[in-house]
Structure 1
Amino acid sequence: MASPSNPLRAPLEAGGGSVARMNSSGPPNDSSGRSDYVRVCARRCFPRPPFGFGRSALLLASLTPCRVLLCVCVIRHLRLGGKQMDPLPNPTPLASKLRNTLVRYHSIGDSEWRVAKKTKDATVWRKPSEEFSGYLYKAQGVVEDVTNRIVDHIRPGPYRLDWDSLMTSMDIMETFEENCCVMRYTTAGQLWNIIAPREFVDFSYTTNYEDGLLTCGISLDYGEVRPNFVRGFNHPCGWFCVPLKDSPGHSLLTGYIQTELRGMLPQSAVDTAMSSTLANFYSDLKKALKA
């Protein structure tokens, strides 16, 4: 087993040649040893070496040990598409932009929406998303309860995990203010596991809207992806909850969701899952509020 302090040591010791001159303190000082070290490092970074790597190894063999490792890391970074995890955002401008985006969605005329699913608890519509190649979904239904209690069951906190059948875990990674945080959550597989379990890291923000509340969020490229999960991405999404004027004990709950599940999925499976998931969301929420 490779040493924790030098994970390349065990593969190097099995490699033969000038490997005997390499020890746990790092690559050897002679050029022949460095050449072997570069090749082994490259094999660790690339399951299948990229075209022309042999020539690159000869060039890297003339570099100092620190530069060798730096070059290998750079090459691996480029092989992965040059993408790095984003740092945590400044919450104030992000929250303002997110709120404005959701308010704009909320003002889209009825003629632009097409019904995707209708149940006794909610109606789900959809339209092409401006953010990605999928759909922006709108869900709406009347819920028998006051706005504050409904939103407390939807936003990150102690209630959501208890009743949301799709959600399997939730962790608050960072708290900026009482109404603003970064959370990581996982979802169960869907459609007989055709859609594998997903993981999301979302910026979440809750604020006042008219006589009620708006809780909204957007995904961040932040943190390492857990094993056995596919990292999904929520484009701007949120829930408006306002009291009904003629029935104060009831609230109108309207949601806007545009989730990019990612992975190799047929679009028809994604569309079926999203419509059904949103309809079930209302029925599960109503049961939780009555419990």
Structure 2
Amino acid sequence: MDYKAIAQQTAQEVLGYNQDTSGWKVVKISKKITVSSKASRKFLGNLYRVEGIIPESTFKLSDFLYQPGNRVTWDKALKVYNMVHRIDSDTFICHTITQSFAMGSISPRDFIDLVYIKRCEGNMDIISSKSVDFPEYPPSSNYVRGYNHPCGYVCSPLKELRYLSSCQLYVRGCTETWGRCLELGNIKTELKEISTLLTALNVLLSSLKLSSEYYFSFSNNFSEDIIKVLMLI
């Protein structure tokens, strides 16, 4: 299997999400977070876009999001996030185990994902991910094997204020885990799972050692903003 070619194709799909500006419907807007959705043309379900502004350089932000050793420190949706195969400096395969959701009605899933960071013109970075088959890690009876369609982050500097970065998360709203949420008719649970990624950026801000002025002005209400967005849906 040509993992590198798959990784590059996945990054191109995520870039396509970013470049396709039509059809997005704003779900909710808060002070720091905007959640939008649109019906997918490639799969059953919606594609979600979650946007925020991070007071840090794009390079440092995207590098932090990409490095596998950082993931469990800021993504509380995960119990395990291990790199199991390094392809090159920009590409690796990881094994992920999620926490349970919806008060235990959704059991932990595990995933084998191909992760790739692509540096683009204009200092824009794409961190893409997609589930793949990896013979060294076959499905286990301990977990339900999930599948992630192409998803990822697009990080880019703001033109007016280049010390700030736009961070957009693109994710499918009907993965193995979220599909169960939809069966339960619980769209809040689905979006809360997405929000854990952005809620965790509070830890990212702290870990990046931003100035106290920026850190406290940005992060004090960050989690609250996300919660308010979700509670109003």
Structure-2-length-normalised TM-score? 0.78
Q: Among residues 51, 64, 72, which one is paired with 1:161 in the alignment? A: 72
Structure with higher Rg: it is: 1
2:103 counterpart of 1:192: yes
Q: Name the residue aligned to 1:99.
A: 11
Change (3 A) 1:109 1:245: closer
Q: Among residues 180, 196, 205, which one is paired with 1:289 in the alignment? A: 205
**Percent identity over the alignment?**
23
Q: Among residues 239, 248, 256, which one is paired with 2:153 in the alignment? A: 239
Cα displacement string for residues 7-62 of structure 1 (whole angstroms, at most 9, x for unaligned residues)? xxxxxxxxxxxxxxxxxxxxxxxxxxxxxxxxxxxxxxxxxxxxxxxxxxxxxxxx
Query: Aligned equivalents of 1:262 and 1:160: distance in 2?
Result: 19
Q: For structure 1, which runs of at least 5 residues remain unmatched after alignment? A: 1-88
Q: Name the residue aligned to 1:183.
A: 94
Q: Residue type of the partner of 1:261?
A: E
Cα distance, 1:218 vs structure 2: 0.7
Cα distance, 1:240 vs structure 2: 0.6
Q: Work out whether residues 156 and 183 of structure 1, in 8 Å CA contact, stay in contact via their aligned partners in 2.
A: no
Change (3 A) 1:247 1:241: same
Q: Name the residue aligned to 2:168.
A: 254
Q: Which has the higher contact order (CA 8 A, sep 6+)?
A: 2
Cα distance, 1:183 vs structure 2: 0.7
Query: Aligned equivalents of 2:178 and 2:57: distance in 1?
Result: 38
Change (3 A) 1:274 1:266: closer
| Structural RMSD (CA) | 2.2
Change (3 A) 1:118 1:275: farther
Q: Name the residue aligned to 1:140.
A: 51
How many residue pairs were aligned? 202
Q: Among residues 115, 140, 149, which one is paired with 1:226 in the alignment? A: 140
Q: Work out whether residues 75 and 196 of structure 2, in 8 Å CA contact, stay in contact via their aligned partners in 1.
A: no
Query: Aligned equivalents of 1:120 and 1:227: distance in 2?
Result: 43
Q: Among residues 175, 180, 184, which one is paired with 1:265 in the alignment? A: 180
2:112 counterpart of 1:201: yes
2:213 counterpart of 1:213: no
Give the secondary-structure state (helix, strand or coil) at the position aligned to 1:104.
Answer: helix
Q: Residue type of the partner of 1:186?
A: I
Q: Work out whether residues 124 and 278 of structure 1, in 8 Å CA contact, stay in contact via their aligned partners in 2.
A: no
Q: Work out whether residues 4 and 91 of structure 2, in 8 Å CA contact, stay in contact via their aligned partners in 1.
A: no
Query: Aligned equivalents of 1:119 and 1:92: distance in 2?
Result: 38
Give the secondary-structure state (helix, strand or coil) at the position aligned to 2:86.
Answer: strand
Cα distance, 1:265 vs structure 2: 2.2
Query: Aligned equivalents of 1:182 and 1:235: distance in 2?
Result: 15
Q: Work out whether residues 230 and 263 of structure 1, in 8 Å CA contact, stay in contact via their aligned partners in 2.
A: no
Cα distance, 1:216 vs structure 2: 0.3
Q: Work out whether residues 81 and 94 of structure 2, in 8 Å CA contact, stay in contact via their aligned partners in 1.
A: yes
Q: Name the residue aligned to 1:126.
A: 37
2:109 counterpart of 1:109: no
Structure-1-length-normalised TM-score? 0.63
Cα displacement string for residues 129-184 of structure 1 (whole angstroms, at most 9, x for unaligned residues)? 23332221111110111112222232242111112111110121211101101111
Q: Work out whether residues 178 and 190 of structure 2, in 8 Å CA contact, stay in contact via their aligned partners in 1.
A: no
Q: Residue type of the partner of 2:118?
A: T
Query: Aligned equivalents of 1:264 and 1:275: distance in 2?
Result: 12
Q: Residue type of the partner of 2:200?
A: D
